[in-house]
Chain A
Amino acid sequence: MISISHVSKSFGTGAGRTLALDDVSLEVGRGEIFGVVGQSGAGKSTLIRTVNLLERPDAGTITVDGRVVTSLTDRDLRIARQGIGMVFQHFNLLSSRTVRGNVELALEVIGVDGRERRTRAGEILELVGLSAKADAYPAQLSGGQKQRVGIARSLAGRPSVLLSDEATSALDPETTRSILELLKTINRELGLTVLLITHEMDVVKTICDSAALIEHGRIAEQGKLVELISTPGSRLARDLFPLGQVPAGTTGTVVDITFSGGSADRPVIAQLARDHSIDVSILGATIETIAGNQAGRTRLEIPGSPETTAAAISDLRAQGLLVEVV
């Protein structure tokens, strides 16, 4: 659905030149929710802006829904943009227009006439749960409500793709959850493909099907979450299950065991302690629901001789668990 191919972008000239994107390639499948995670300055903002050409890449091509966006004329680009929705971290609503007016703006741009505008705006506001606030002005709304207006506006042109530029970064955790819920609902009911950028791993955990990690303008890792979880050494997977530092004073071997799918409910640790007669200590554990499935990671300290430890580890691996020695 979205195909970013060998895209590079730099800013500035001469000595002050910074490479914001360095040969970035990624694919977002139809109907998927894809999250790009990275620190501030990693390039994710620039990346998402190349998809609707708010930033023009220096090199590379971008294809959205079959159209090669990077080679469109100005007029065709405007039309293409009407099929690509975008929501922003700071909402970017017109303070001079009501909620309804803000949604209708998108329709006016497209050229939809008066009566149909009103009907369509009403429908979308119903979808995002803001019908009651249709005649309010943005100054009278809370952050979550403003973002709903932003989402409503982006849906007006019946887009096939939605771009989210840190849509929840300016919201409190509870509001973030409700907005993410809304995005998930829209994705499911309208079949809308979503590409989002965020610096919060929670967002990825909550709604993403696939993810990519961006660092210094390069994609360090990408893939479907369910696959990443069982990939050893995956940094995304490690960040999805944060277990913190290993406490000082541990004497045994420390291993991280990742459970996913069926293995999450088996009494693996109890069996391990019994079968190998070792006193296993739990140093940390976390279980999350990733892309609809339960998955978790446990950090264990296994005391005893290297032979016992090795036997225990191979036993775990034989059961299909991902075991990494820390």
Chain B
Amino acid sequence: MNDTSDPKFWSDLVDVLILGTGQTLYMVSVSLLVTIVVGLPLGILLVGTERGGLFASPFGSRTAGRVINRVLDFIVNLGRSIPFIILMIAVIPFTRLVVGTFIGSTAAIVPLSLVAIPFFARMVEIALKEIDPGLTEAANSLGASRWQIVRKVLVPEALPSMLLGLATTVTSIINFSAMVGTVAGGGLGDVAFRYGYQRYSTIHIVAVIIIIFVIVQTLAAIATHFAKKYARTTSETGRLKTVETLELKVADAH
């Protein structure tokens, strides 16, 4: 079965790897899209509903703001504390509702998004909190509306940090996508599981590791490139922020 002298072994390996990579990329990119669409507003609301924030008193009530803040904070903490494998299984009914099945790469997008959204929301929160509050004051003094402040001041100023946060989130998604292989979710993790674990093929495992490594490094490089491009400044210590320093910050914050 693992006869490396058999040419069919190698052509099968390539087929399997191409399929697996394609599935992984598909799962990760769609999950990423969903994560950004839901996670960005979530992070903005999380910061905005704090005391003194832009949305501190939605509908004129500070109590409403406090309630929204607590609820969102709870959801985010919940999402970040449940181990992914358990989350994957726990949301099976929900996955079936949304996608029609709980097996396969498309179904895997549901738990992947659910775990990435709170993660990214926290990254957005950190990025927004780094912005000098004086900028919001200046925007208010110009007569800007809350929406204008979010769109024209907060998001552009937080962009470099958010891009780095996005890179960390993607790495996380790729990480978790490997686990969906254990429940027939497809992808490179599935390849590693079926061939590496069930059929003891070390070559498959090594190939998967190399491919994932390349994907992650490429994404990190792209994110850092764009973060530098939009930064137009250096951090207070004079060093440009990198994915590593951002991860340290996340570890500190929780």
Q: Which residues of A contact B156 (CB under 8 A)?
A: 94, 96-97
| Chain-A contact segment, one of B110-118, B134-142, B173-181 | B134-142
Q: Does B51 contact A (CB under 8 A)?
A: no
A96 to B159, CA, bound (A): 9
CB distance from A101 to the nearest CB of B (A): 10
Q: Which of A79, A85, A93, A108 contacts B152 (CB 8 A)?
A: A108
CB distance from A17 to the nearest CB of B (A): 17
A52 to B137, CA, bound (A): 11
A163 to B134, CA, bound (A): 15
Q: Are B233's CB and A95's CB within 8 A? A: yes
Q: Are A153's CB and B142's CB within 8 A? A: yes
Q: Which residues of B contact A95 (CB under 8 A)?
A: 157, 232-233
Q: Which residues of B contact A81 (CB under 8 A)?
A: 140-143
CB distance from A165 to the nearest CB of B (A): 9
Q: Are A86's CB and B145's CB within 8 A? A: no
Q: A108-B152, A137-B232 are in contact. Are A92 and B157 (CB under 8 A)?
A: no
Q: Are A92's CB and B145's CB within 8 A? A: no
Q: Does B230 contact A (CB under 8 A)?
A: yes
Q: Does B144 contact A (CB under 8 A)?
A: yes
Q: Are A92's CB and B132's CB within 8 A? A: yes
Q: Are A86's CB and B232's CB within 8 A? A: no
CB distance from B86 to the nearest CB of A (A): 40
Q: Are B232's CB and A109's CB within 8 A? A: no
Chain B 219-246 per-residue mask, 1 if CB under 8 angstroms from chain A, else 0: 0000000000010111000000000000
Q: Does A106 contact B (CB under 8 A)?
A: yes
Q: Does B153 contact A (CB under 8 A)?
A: yes
A139 to B138, CA, bound (A): 18
Q: A94-B153, A94-B157, A95-B157 are in contact. Are A78 and B233 (CB under 8 A)?
A: no
**9 cross-chain pairs, A with B, having the tightest CB-CB distances, nearest first:** A81-B143, A92-B138, A139-B233, A82-B143, A86-B141, A92-B134, A96-B156, A78-B143, A109-B144
By a beta-carbon cutoff of 8 Å, the part of chain A in contact with chain B is 52, 54, 77-82, 84-86, 88, 90, 92-97, 105-106, 108-110, 137-139, 153-154, 157, 163
7 interchain pairs, CB-CB under 8 A? A52-B141, A78-B145, A88-B138, A94-B157, A97-B156, A105-B152, A139-B234
**Besides A81-B140, A88-B134, A96-B232, 11 other A-B contacts (C-beta < 8 A):** A54-B137, A54-B141, A78-B144, A81-B142, A85-B141, A90-B132, A90-B134, A96-B156, A96-B230, A139-B232, A153-B138
